[in-house]
Structure 1
Amino acid sequence: MRLRQLFVIGLALSILGVGAPAWSQDDPRSCNDLMAADTPAYVVCTWMATPEEAADIARFWLENDGQNMIDAGPMDPITIDCNEPGTECPTGPDGPEGDGEMHDVGDPDVEGAEDGGTPECQNGEECYVDGTGLSAADKAAAEETPAGQAVQAVAQTGMRIWIDTELADDYKAGRLAEAAKKVAALAAAQPGVVGIRFTSQLGFNQTFATADELDTFVTEATTALRTLVPGVKLAAHTLVPVFGCGSDETCQAEVTKKYPLLDPDRIGAWLAKGQIDQLALDSGHLATEYATWKIDAATAQRNQWIQVRARAWDAYAQIAAEDASFTAAQLTEEQAAKAITDRVAAPLQDDAAETVTLWTRWQNDQGQVNRVFGEKWAANTTWEQLKKLGSIRPRLATVYDPANPEVDVTTDMKNLSEVFGQVYLHAA
């Protein structure tokens, strides 16, 4: 009974928050005064139940030792009497699902499904699809590549695995089918691979000149991969600079002109159509892109996640934040803690990004290696601070190139798994 009382009180209080627009500060149900002074004008707050009303609701259910709650009780179940005249209850092969027999909770639905095994097919139908166009030789060849061998090492750590590749260049060169087949073989060769990230900086780099070309690439690449490895998640990395502008219309106009292909409506359409299962939004531009309009990195980041939430992108796909700035310089303990707060905690707390991808090592064109950790895994302050994030480890991911290890793949994966729950394995 006490649990039920607490649930009702919690339910009553949970209806306080952002709701239907309160267009005027004079609106008696407006709670705009509770929001920060710099909150964009298009974000409004209204009480679905005022504090006084919420107290009345809680009091109604708790008074007289909870008698109203007792009297409410569960609703009567909906029942159908098949013997009642005029009622038809379909049976047989065209009837409802199930075998017509009672089963205990937890019993397998189909004979052969015990202990997590694959159930036998009923009536000879095909139970699952294993992809098309991938031979045993394709999978064997994929296993011998650096990425294929790395998959085996990652599997020992328990991290979720994504294959990270770039199909845009292959598409432009007319080799999309061949390239898609190679990366699909990597995903299909061994268990543990949950997805393929098939492109990065989509629409930001100079690969595509027109919006139509961009849409065609996304359609053809995702169609090819879903045909080859149905069930494997597909991801893409990009950025939406206009989001950082917030409500500044001058900023919006200038940034849209500068990045014409990065139209949020176009990107949202890819998600709504189910073409992309995970979208990573880069944060590299947030610190400098908006200086003209006096929008700092923290404000730009907040503006971005407000826009993502407003468009409900997370209803269609998983949204990730991506950050490479931790490799830029060695940080003090205080600097590292602040960077983690700003670049890891904030996107997650803003309730728009579900995961955060941090680059931990990359090499520039001159051969210079940038790291979050010390050379050959020597300890440093930033890495030690990241290791303290064990409670959100499943939400943290990193990118790894097995062709250019820090020490060797096994050693590298063991160390990375102390911080990250997911890894993107680069495949050339």
Structure 2
Amino acid sequence: MRFTLRRALAVGAMLTVAGVVTPAVAAYSQDDPRSCNDLMSADTPAYVVCHWLAKPEEALGVAMFWLSDDGASLKEATPSEGNFIDCSAPGSSCPALEGDDTVGDENSPAPEGAEDGGTPECEAGQQCSVDGNEIGGDGTPSRPEPGSAAAPSTSPAKTAATQSFATTEQEIAAAAQTPAGQAVVAAKATGIRVWLDTELADDWKAGATQFAAAVKRVGALAARPEVAGIRFTSQLGYNTTFKTDEEITAFVTAASAALRQAAPGKRLGVHTVVPELACGADEACKTEMRKRYPLVVPERVETLLSAGRADQISLDTGLLYGGYETWKIDAEKAHRNQWIQVRARSWDVLAQVAAEETGLVGQVTPEQVATRASTPVMDGAAQQVNLWTRVQNAQGTVNRLTAWDDLKKLNPIKRRLAAVYNPTTPEVDVTTDLKKISEVFSQVYLTTA
């Protein structure tokens, strides 16, 4: 193990952690020698507090200790013995679960014997179920009449769970000949990584047959090795496609499960807008945004991420440039508020966070390009920024990405920049367009039907 100053500083950087906590938790004054509030900008919200767990010089000392003498201390270190009890050892006493005489897992969802085909005991007057069949108090199955209020649901989510979404070699070969498939091949030639950008929400609502066909179509395209992932919905919970939180949960659960089967190993992503995040600490703003957009409050979005249904979430920045004047929150402050909130919530632990930026089409200044394309990444809130290359408004006016020269100056973060591109509306032709995109971006989201 060769010791170098760069390695020491790298280890030190990992050990130098700045915590973000609320004032109620942080009992640290401005005179606290471990405070790092001076590193934050003047407009940082008051509830964000910075505290060194290890100061830079301390972290360097720790790194020096472990790496000195060819890492001798690190080689000699052994795991802590810990406090463990061997329940099988004579004289050991391990607590049993409540209502049971044996050690087990309190999180087990099935009653004793159910794994072996047994039937759970139901008390008189009660009903329970096994494999979707209701069991009466006498232990006999109770099947409701078709069409009755208690009849089993035939929703797309339940039907899809019993279907197979695996794609055949013939389907994969056919997909490669489509315009989208040819765009994937063209992207491969440029060395750019590919995401498929599609919308499955309408197909899911249309029923199991249409949903299965859409999933298999996307799965066949995603079979190529250069396809890194699939973004399967946009504006989730913000648009009018879904009316309830239960619908959103059912859709994301079904789509995630189906795509994991149709395109194993591919990452899955969703796109949405969380308007409340840009309010910062303004309670009146947050209250209004929760009332306007109840399906995309931060807690509900976080619940979907916690369930592991998506590997990436793209947060749109479109509302940040004009939706908060009522509370005297300008575009710059709204932008900063959103990414401070995302960073404080540690969503990057649950999924990769990407900033979706539609505001750089048309005529923009170099300062706007640098701020909007790099701030989320440089602030540590997002790991990626997705820039649209073409935006068409409701009146049919098309604005195109023109700041190519300014974007080339962001080469240090090129790996974190992705372009959203529709191959059905090329500027020149797909091959030429993708070559130009690859000069600035390392990834591309190909819009597919």
Aligned to 2:419: 398
Aligned to 1:423: 444
Structure 2: how far apart are the matches of 1:414 and 1:26? 52
Structure 2: how far apart are the matches of 1:302 and 1:365? 28
1:153 maps onto 2:180 in alignment: no
Matches within 5 A, 1:171-190: 171-174=204-207, 175-188=210-223, 190=224
Counterpart amino acid of residue 419 in structure 2: T
CA contact (8 A) 2:415 2:442 kept: yes
CA contact (8 A) 1:19 1:48 kept: no
Structure 2: how far apart are the matches of 1:72 and 1:398? 44
CA contact (8 A) 2:385 2:416 kept: yes
Counterpart amino acid of residue 400 in structure 2: R
Aligned to 2:410: 389
Change (3 A) 1:323 1:34: closer
Aligned to 2:386: 357
Q: Scaled by the length of structure 1, what TM-score is found?
A: 0.75
Please state how far the C-alpha of 1:258 moved relative to its aligned partner: 0.8
Please state how far the C-alpha of 1:177 moved relative to its aligned partner: 1.5
> 1:285 is paired with a residue of what secondary structure?
helix
Structure 2: how far apart are the matches of 1:363 and 1:280? 20
Structure 1: how far apart are the matches of 2:273 and 2:327? 19
Matches within 5 A, 1:19-418: 21-25=25-29, 28-29=32-33, 30-32=35-37, 34-48=39-53, 54=57, 73-74=72-73, 75-76=75-76, 133-174=166-207, 175-188=210-223, 190-327=224-361, 329-331=362-364, 335=365, 337-364=366-393, 367-373=396-402, 382-418=403-439
CA contact (8 A) 2:357 2:372 kept: yes
Change (3 A) 1:9 1:219: closer
Structure 2: how far apart are the matches of 1:165 and 1:232? 14
Please state how far the C-alpha of 1:31 moved relative to its aligned partner: 4.2
CA contact (8 A) 1:234 1:276 kept: yes
Structure 1: how far apart are the matches of 2:63 and 2:422? 59
Per-residue CA deviations over 1:275-297 (Å, capped at 9, x if unaligned) read 10111000010121211111112
> 1:200 is paired with a residue of what secondary structure?
coil
Gapped regions of structure 2 (runs ≥ 5)? 80-163
Counterpart amino acid of residue 425 in structure 1: L
> 2:247 is paired with a residue of what secondary structure?
helix
CA contact (8 A) 1:9 1:58 kept: no
Change (3 A) 1:208 1:22: same
CA contact (8 A) 2:357 2:388 kept: yes
Structure 2: how far apart are the matches of 1:71 and 1:3? 10
Structure 1: how far apart are the matches of 2:316 and 2:447? 17
Q: Which has the higher contact order (CA 8 A, sep 6+)?
A: 1
Change (3 A) 1:77 1:171: same
Please state how far the C-alpha of 1:47 moved relative to its aligned partner: 3.9
- RMSD of aligned C-alpha atoms? 3.0
CA contact (8 A) 1:298 1:342 kept: no
Structure 2: how far apart are the matches of 1:32 and 1:346? 20
Per-residue CA deviations over 1:117-162 (Å, capped at 9, x if unaligned) read xxxxxxxxxxxxxx95311221122112211111111100000001
Structure 2: how far apart are the matches of 1:147 and 1:308? 33
Per-residue CA deviations over 1:165-200 (Å, capped at 9, x if unaligned) read 111111121122221111111111x22011111011
Change (3 A) 1:229 1:406: same
